[in-house]
């Protein structure tokens, strides 16, 4: 009787797991971008890719700064610079043209060039700032290292977000009063 109960419980668990996998499998095509069709014609594609690649590294940089691990700061900062350079090569060829991912809307022949110029501006700031973070970390000064990190966020990340994203709404009055 005990063995039959165990078999029934195992079968029930297998049924629930299988049902969950099948149900999730029908919706996972959105997660994997199988129906994304027009996703890669946007001018934000290189920027989004850069953000995805460097977001974990910037989190690790901040964690390493807070724990005083200067070797990790240097390693992650260098990874940010390397990944940024890879993104540039991946999305824009050496002759300055956008790759196959970009299909311009309308009749603007300079759209790819304009997009590359704007992207390069912020990308250069990211690369320079991340190398500056690595150099500052080698001096083992936690305050200056944090200032370099904050400078990268201000000059590259927040500056790009201010231009490329919609303006954030103002804080509600109750949050301003609470110090938020």
d(CA 4, CA 108) in angstroms, rounded, equals: 71
Of the listed ranges 6-10, 26-30, 80-84, 117-121, the one predicted with least confidence: 26-30
What integer is the mean pLDDT of 18-34?
56
Say if residue 7's pLDDT is above 80: yes
Q: Which residue has the higher pLDDT, 23 or 75?
A: 75
What span, in angstroms and rounded, lies between the C-alpha atoms of 60 and 133? 13
Cβ density class 11-40: b for 16+ within 10 Å, e for less: eeeeeeeeeeeeeeeeeeeeeeeeeeeeee
Report d(CA 101, CA 94) in Å as an integer: 16
Q: Is the pLDDT of residue 68 over 70?
A: yes
Percent of the chain with pLDDT over 90: 29
b/e burial code for range 93-128 (CB count within 10 A of at least 16 → b): eeeeebeeebeeeeeeeebbeebbebbeebbebbbb
More confident residue, 130 or 179: 130
Whether 79 has a pLDDT exceeding 50, the answer reads: yes
What's the chain's average pLDDT?
Answer: 77
- Look at residue 96 and tell me whether its pLDDT is greater than 60: no
pTM of the full structure: 0.63
Q: Sorting pLDDT into bands at 50, 70 and 90, what band is 112?
A: low
Residue 140 pLDDT level (bands cut at 50, 70, 90): very high
With a CB cutoff of 8 Å and minimum separation 6, the contacts of 102 are 40, 41, 43, 45, 91, 112, 115
pLDDT of residue 128 exceeding 70, the answer is yes
Residue 67: its pLDDT value, please?
A: 94
For the CA atoms of the chain, what is the radius of gyration? 23
Is pLDDT above 90 for 40? Answer: no
């Amino acid at each position: 009787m005990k063995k039959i109960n165990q078999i029934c419980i195992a079968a029930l668990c297998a049924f629930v797991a299988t049902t969950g996998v099948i149900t999730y499998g029908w919706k996972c095509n959105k997660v994997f971008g199988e129906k994304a069709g027009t996703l890669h014609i946007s001018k934000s594609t290189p920027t989004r890719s850069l953000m995805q690649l460097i977001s974990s590294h910037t989190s690790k940089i901040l964690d390493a700064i807070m724990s005083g691990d200067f070797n990790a700061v240097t390693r992650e900062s260098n990874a940010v610079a390397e990944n940024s350079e890879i993104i540039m090569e991946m999305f824009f060829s050496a002759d300055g043209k956008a790759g196959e991912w970009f299909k311009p809307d309308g009749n603007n022949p300079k759209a790819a060039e304009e997009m590359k110029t704007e992207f390069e501006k912020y990308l250069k700031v990211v690369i320079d700032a991340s190398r500056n973070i690595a150099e500052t970390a080698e001096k083992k000064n936690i305050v200056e290292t944090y200032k370099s990190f904050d400078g990268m966020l201000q000059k590259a990340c927040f500056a790009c977000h201010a231009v490329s994203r919609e303006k954030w709404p103002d804080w509600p009055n109750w949050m301003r009063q609470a110090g938020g």
